[in-house]
C-alpha cells in the first residue's frame, strides 16, 4: 500500500470533486487561528478537540469531508465520526488539497 493509502485509507476510491459538487459538508478541523489564516470557501471550522461535542452539526449530511493542515487531524476526525455512527465521512487530507476542488 502506498503512503497515501496508509494515510488516507486504502478502501474505495472517492471522487472528491463529485461529492463537493453535490454539496458535501466541508469541515476544517484545524484551530480557529489556523482557519483564520486561510481556509476553504464555504467550509465550517470545527476543531478536532470539540468534534465530540458538536456531533449534532454532522447529522443529516449526505457527505462529510474533513481536512486540516497535513491530514493527521482529519484522519483522527474521520475516526471519531465513524465511531459515532457516521458512515459518509471522507478524509480530504490537507485544506489546500480540498481547496482545489471548490469553485
Residue positions annotated with a catalytic role: 68
Residue 60 has a CB neighbour count (10 Å cut-off) of 7
- Distance between CA atoms of 94 and 16, rounded to whole angstroms? 13
**Hey, which bits of 23-88 come out as E strands?**
25-28, 44-45, 64-68
Q: Using CA atoms, how far apart are residues 7 and 36, in angstroms rounded to an integer?
A: 26
Q: How far is the CA of 48 from the CAs of 42, 52, 56, 101, in angstroms?
A: 18, 8, 15, 22
Amino acid at each position: 500500500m502506498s503512503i497515501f493509502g496508509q494515510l488516507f485509507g486504502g478502501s474505495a476510491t472517492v471522487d472528491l470533486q463529485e461529492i463537493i459538487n453535490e454539496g458535501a459538508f466541508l469541515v476544517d478541523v484545524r484551530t480557529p487561528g489556523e482557519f483564520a489564516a486561510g481556509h476553504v470557501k464555504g467550509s465550517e471550522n470545527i476543531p478536532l478537540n470539540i468534534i465530540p461535542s458538536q456531533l449534532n452539526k454532522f447529522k443529516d449530511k449526505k457527505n462529510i469531508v474533513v481536512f486540516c493542515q497535513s491530514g493527521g487531524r482529519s484522519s483522527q476526525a474521520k475516526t471519531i465520526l465513524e465511531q459515532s455512527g457516521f458512515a459518509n465521512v471522507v478524509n480530504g487530507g490537507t485544506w489546500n488539497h480540498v481547496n482545489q476542488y471548490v469553485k
